[in-house]
Amino acid sequence: MKITLSAIKADVGAIAGHNAPSIALVEAIANHVKNNAARLLIDYRISTTGDDTAMLMTHTHGVNSPDIHRLAFDALMKGTEVAKDQGLYGAGQDLLKTSFSGNVKGMGPGSCEMEFEERESEPFVFFACDKTDPGAFNYPLFRSFADPFHNAGLLLAPHMGKGFEFTVMDVNYTKGDRVIKLNTPENIYDLAVLLRDQERYVVESISSRSTGEITAVVSTSRLHNISGKYSGKDDPVCLVRTQKDFPATGEVVSPYATAHYVLGGCRGSHILALMPVKQGETISFFDGPAIVTGAGYSMRGGKFTEPVDLFAQPFWDTVRTKAAQKSLAMREQGFFGAAMAPMMELEYTGVVDRIKELDKHFKIREK
Ligand code: F6R
Ligand code: MG
Ligand code: MG
C-alpha cells in the first residue's frame, strides 16, 4: 500500500517570548486536524518542540497535496487566532503569507514528506528542532548514512553497502530549487565539502542505491529567504525510515550524542550545541539552547503506534549535560569570532546597517 507521510510545522505564537505554545493553541490546531481527519487522513499526531507545533500525518494523496497542505495551513491559522486572543508573543509569526496558494512551501511553515510502499513493518523516526536551521541535520545524516566509522552497519549490512543517493539543496538560491545529487561512497568528499557549510547546503532527501527507496527527508525552507529579513529560525523537521535496507534506529539517533554546534539561540545568531530533549520540551537558556526531539514510530496501513520518546531515555541525560557545557563554553566569548553566526547570516539583521554606516567613516591612511 502506497502511503504518504507528511510533517508540517510552524511557530504561530508562544508564551513568555519564544518558549512554548500554549495548551489552547495546540488544542486549536489539533481540533482542526481532528475535524478534517476522516475526510483526508489515515492517522495523525500533534507534537511540540520548543515553540513549534508539528502535525505528523499519513494519507494517500501523495507529496505536495494541496488538500493536505491546506488542512495544515488552516490548522495553523486557527492556532494563530488563539495566539492573538491569548496575547501570545509572535502570534502567526511563521505564517509569512496568509492567503493560501496550494502549498505551504514558501509561505513560512516547514514541511517534509515522503511517499513509499509501506513495508511489512515500517519503523521511522520523526525529528524536530527548535531554534536552529535545516543545516542542523547535515551532521547527523552524514554520519548515519555516509560514515562507516560512525555507522559500521554500512559495512555489515549487505544492502547498505551499495551506499545512498543524497539530494542536497543550495538554500541561498531563491529563484527555484537548486539541487545536486551525490552518491556515496564514491562522492563522499564532494558531499562533505557541501555539507560542512550548513547554512547554505542542506540535505533535502536520501534514497537507498540498492532499492531506490526513499529513506530520509528534511524541511529545507529558510524564512529569511521568504521575508528578506530575520524572521525567526527555520526550526526544521526530518523524517527517517529505519531498519533493514536503511540504518538502524540506533544508528540514526546516535550522532546526536555529539551535541554538535549549530546556529541558533537568541536572535538566531549564535552558535550553541544541539541538545537532544524529550517530546514537548520547552525553551529557556539564551532563547535556546537549540533542541531536537526524536519520536520513534511503527505503522501498519498508515496507522501509527504510540511514539517511543527516543531522547527521553536516561542515556541522553549525559549528552544533555555535555550539550549545556558546550553551549556555556561558547557563550563565554560573547559575540567574538566562532561564537556568532557567519556574516552571511547576519546580513538579515541590524548588524549590516551599522557596518554600512561605519564604512563611510573608514579612511585609507596616507603613507
Ligand atoms: C526566536 C528568536 C528569538 C528572538 C528574540 C528577540 O526565533 O530567535 O531569540 O529573536 O527573542 O525577539 P524580538 O525581536 O521579537 O523581541
Ligand atoms: Mg519562535
Ligand atoms: Mg521555533
**Structural domains present in the chain:** 1-117 (3.30.70)
How confident is the model at residue 344, as a pLDDT?
84
Instruction: Give residues whose Cβ lies within 5 Å of ion ligand 3.
Output: 11, 51-52, 130, 235
Phi, psi of 164, rounded to the nearest 5 degrees: -135, 155
Return d(Cα 332, Cα 328) in angstroms, integer.
6
How confident is the model at residue 159, as a pLDDT?
87
Other CB atoms closer than 10 Å to residue 63's CB: what's the count?
Answer: 17
pLDDT in tens, 20-65: 999 999 999 999 999 999 999 999 999 999 999 999 999 999 999 9
348 is in an annotated binding site: yes
**Catalytic choice (9, 78, 105, 233):** 233
278 is in an annotated binding site: no
130 is in an annotated binding site: yes
| Rama region for 301: left / alpha / beta (φ>0; ψ in -120 to 50; rest) | left
CA distance to 4, 32, 64, 68, 215, per residue, from 43 (Å): 11, 14, 17, 12, 20
309 is in an annotated binding site: no
- Short-list 335, 334, 253, CA closest to 294: 253
Of the bound ligands, which one is closest to the alpha carbon of residue 284? 1
Quote the ligand 3 centre to 197 CA distance (angstroms): 22
H/E run at residue 299: strand 299-300
- CA dihedral of 95, 292, 21, 61, whole degrees rounded to 10: 50
Quote the ligand 2 centre to 347 CA distance (angstroms): 19
CA distance to 213, 214, 332, 366, per residue, from 204 (Å): 15, 11, 34, 51
Quote the ligand 3 centre to 131 CA distance (angstroms): 5
Contact predicate 34/219, CB 8 Å: no
Other CB atoms closer than 10 Å to residue 194's CB: what's the count?
Answer: 20
The burial of 228, by beta-carbon neighbours within 10 Å (0-12 exposed, 13-18 middle, 19 or more buried), is given as exposed
Cell triple for 166? 543524497
Residue 97 confidence (pLDDT) above 80: yes
**Cα Rg, the chain, nearest whole Å:** 20
Other CB atoms closer than 10 Å to residue 159's CB: what's the count?
Answer: 13
Q: How confident is the model at residue 70 (pLDDT cuts 50, 70, 90)?
A: very high
Contact predicate 9/55, CB 8 Å: yes
Cell numbers 481540533 correspond to what residue? 31
18 lines ligand 1 (CB under 6 A): yes
Q: Across the strands, what pairs with 14?
A: 89
Return d(Cα 261, Cα 243) in angstroms, integer.
27
Contact predicate 265/288, CB 8 Å: yes
Average pLDDT over residues 331-345: 93
Residue 233 confidence (pLDDT) above 90: no
51 is in an annotated binding site: yes
Atom of ligand 1 nearest to the CA of 268: 8
| Residue 173 known to be catalytic | no
Asked if residue 289 has a cis previous peptide bond (ω within 30° of 0), the answer is: yes
Return d(Cα 11, Cα 239) in angstroms, integer.
19
pLDDT in tens, 109-167: 999 999 999 999 999 999 999 999 999 999 999 999 999 999 999 999 988 999 999 99
233 lines ligand 1 (CB under 6 A): yes
Average pLDDT over residues 177-184: 96
Quote the ligand 1 centre to 268 CA distance (angstroms): 8
| Residue 139 known to be catalytic | no
Residue 156's SS3 state is helix
Q: What is the pTM of this model?
A: 0.97
Query: To test ligand 1's pocket by mutation, which of 18, 51, 93, 223 has the most ligand atoms within 8 angstroms of CB?
Result: 18
268 lines ligand 1 (CB under 6 A): yes
Residue 281 confidence (pLDDT) above 80: yes
Atom of ligand 1 nearest to the CA of 90: 15
108 lines ligand 1 (CB under 6 A): no
Atom of ligand 1 nearest to the CA of 269: 8
Sign of CA dihedral 214, 215, 219, 220: negative
